Structure 1
Amino acid sequence: MLLQLHAQISSWWHGTPLPARTPANIKFQRWNHYTNGRWIPLARNTPSTVAPHPSPGRLEVVTWNVDAGSPSPGPRISALLQTIEAMANADVIFLQDVNKAAIAQLLAHPWIQQQWYSSEADDSKFGKQSFATVTLISKICLFNHSISLGPIWRVSLPSRFDRDALCCDLVSNKTPQTKGLARIRLINVHLDSLPINPSRRPQQLSIIASYLRAAGHGLVAGDFNPVLPEDDEIVSDNGLVDAWTYLRPSDPGFTWGARGDKPFPPNRLDKVALHNLTPSNIRILQTSSIKHDCTDLEFSDHLGLSCVFTWN
């Protein structure tokens, strides 16, 4: 009851719709930008009035598990960022499995400092974990698409691994034929790992889907860890559209183990699932190798996903 009341008060205070009956701990935070040689919070997170935007709207999201457990996290994430910059016209970047060394390198990267707003200014949101999720929003995207940054917050999930959902809202003008503003909710996730029964992933995605429905439009993307048979249905069971199966139903779309160098079969661990948005293109982004102790090391054990989506 108290958690539900807290959610309602937070929804009103931050001007963002939240599901009234979701018993989840919500922690609002601030967007950060780089200025005068350091990362600092933006003055405000609430959306501002924006100019009319042509219909339909279009954005590209890239999601990538950056592999917290491998050596050389700094050089690896630098190589990953170079790949995203070269291969994708990303408006939104979701990263999972970002450890403390990687977040320091990420925040020191000139491209990130110059062109992106970050959910993090340091590693203070990691809590008990040695890694966390990070969301980046392009400054150019906001300007070109007449979009405002809305609130950003974390929702603690029922989890064996202290996982959460990193949620944020973007606010854009609707088409001239409609009134008001369209709110697009973006949720970055790293669902529970391993084939442990009973699985917490169905409950986790159910909670996440309720946040998307409360906003009206949105997506959840990241590492879904679908390693049990029941995981095959949790996207559709929650009324969401799996962008990969929608656009490429005959393609397995493996994002992990595709080279056959893992002890488990290849799997499509990473997904983009949408609510009231239309996927128009999705593709896999490949890794490259860096040098570590005179050997070649892939910069992640996951491949990335780039998904373009539209809305009216």
Structure 2
Amino acid sequence: MRILTWNLWGRYGPWQRRLDAIAATLAAVSPDVCGLQEVWAAGGQNLAAELADRLGMYWCWARATPENAEQGDDPVIGNAVLSRWPIARHTEVRLPISDPGEGRVALHARIETPGGVLPMFTTHLTYRPGGSQLRLPQVRRLATFVAEEGMDCTYPPVVTGDLNAEPDSDEIRLLSGLRTAPAVPGLVLVDAWRYADPADPGFTWDRRNGYQADTVLPDSRIDYILVGLHRRGRGQVRSARLAGTAPVDDLWPSDHFAVVTELRP
């Protein structure tokens, strides 16, 4: 079972041309399930719907942009799940914010795979260097949401997203239960990148990316696939790697690299 997470960079840069590069990258990876962030909707169009149509997948989407935000011609941004298999239902929860103009949401999709129910989650936490104190309440709400929706399924919960936090941060430690109690008792999420090539730092925010040449931030691993403890082998992480790490027809698909992991079906 191949899982992918990717921040698609909204409608920034040459976004019309980037759509083709994103679709081509996803087709080459051929994921079974995707968690996508910064997915735009505007003028009756939705990037998740467009990608799902091209790839022959099911989809669901949750708006992150606040409902009271003045949009005009600007796109609405959200998170999406794409799946090779039917999505039986989907739910969402708003995450706590300190700025009323900011919107953060976590999306859950209950996916009917051939081997049973997979609880899939995706989210995008607040971006701010040094903003751990802002993301910690979001992580606690996310963990509660995962425990409510994802603990009674055939497969363990899979949590994907741009968490804007590095692996040794308090945010990731709370989700994984490393060196601290987990945010929700009994909910332990394993960072799939621990099964990657040890020599690969897994930077998803990387100055190799053509859009990052002038970034003031260091190379960082801030995008994750986190997986609950496997259920009698089902959902056990087998491997992890990056994708979207090269241009498509001389165009970078996104300002982030994607993360791909293989789970035991």
TM-score (norm 1): 0.64
Contact 1:75 1:290 (8 Å CA) reproduced: no
Instruction: Give yes or no for contact 2:6–2:161 (8 Å, CA) kept in 1.
Output: yes
**8 Å CA contact retained: 1:213, 1:275:** no
Classify the secondary structure of the residue corresponding to 1:93.
Answer: strand
Asked if 2 retains the 8 angstrom alpha-carbon contact of 1:191 and 1:223, the reply is yes
Aligned residue for 1:115? Answer: 56
Of the structure 1 ranges 155-164 and 282-291, higher mean CA displacement relative to structure 2 is found in: 282-291
Task: Identify the match of residue 173 of structure 2 among 210, 214, 233.
Answer: 233
Please say if residues 78 and 106 of structure 1, whose CA atoms lie closer than 8 Å, have aligned partners that are also in contact.
no
Cα contact 2:93–2:145 (8 A) shared by 1:
no
Moved more, 238-247 or 110-119: 110-119
1:100·1:131 contact (CA, 8 Å) conserved in 2?
yes
Partner in structure 2 of residue 272 of structure 1: 225
Q: 2:257 matched to which residue of 1?
A: 303
Between the aligned partners of 2:262 and 2:93, the Cα distance in structure 1 is: 25
1:2-13 pair list within 5 angstroms = none
Matched residue pairs, number? 231
Q: Measured at CA, do residues 126 and 192 of structure 1 come closer, stay the same or move farther in structure 2, by a change above 3 Å? A: closer
Contact 1:73 1:101 in 2 (8 A): no
The percent identity for this pair of structures is 25
* Residue 218 of structure 1: aligned partner: 157
User: What is the CA-CA distance between 1:167 and the residue it aligns to?
Assistant: 0.6
Report the counterpart of residue 187 of structure 1 in structure 2. Answer: 121
2:162 & 2:222 partners in 1: Cα distance?
A: 6
**Kindly tell me: are residues 299 and 218 of structure 1, through their superposed partners in 2, closer, same or farther at Cα, counting changes over 3 Å?**
same
Distance (Å, rounded) in 2 between the aligned partners of 1:202 and 1:65: 20
For residues 240-268 of structure 1, what are the alpha-carbon distances to aligned partners after superposition, in whole Å with 9 as ceiling and x for unaligned?
Answer: 10000244445311011242722111001
Q: Are residues 248 and 210 of structure 1, via their aligned partners in 2, closer, same or farther at CA, if it must alter by over 3 Å?
A: farther
Q: Against the structure 1 CA distance between its residues 105 and 266, is the aligned structure 2 distance closer, same or farther, given a 3 Å change threshold?
A: same
Listed as ranges, the gaps of 5+ residues in structure 2 are 70-75, 183-187, 230-234
Corresponding residue SS for 2:133: coil
Q: Distance in 2 between matches of 1:103 and 1:245?
A: 40
1:248-267 aligned within 5 A: 248-259=197-208, 261=213, 262-267=215-220
Between Structure 1 and Structure 2, the one with more helix by share is 1
The change in CA–CA distance for 1:246 and 1:102 in structure 2 (over 3 A counts) is farther
In structure 1, stretches of 5+ residues that fail to align are 1-58, 143-147, 175-181
Q: Which residue of 2 aligns with 1:151?
A: 89
CA deviations 1:163-193 (Å, max 9, x no partner) are 010111124576xxxxxxx532100111111
Larger Rg: 1
Say which is worse superposed, 264-273 or 204-213, in terms of deviation.
204-213
Match of 1:85 among 21, 27, 34: 27
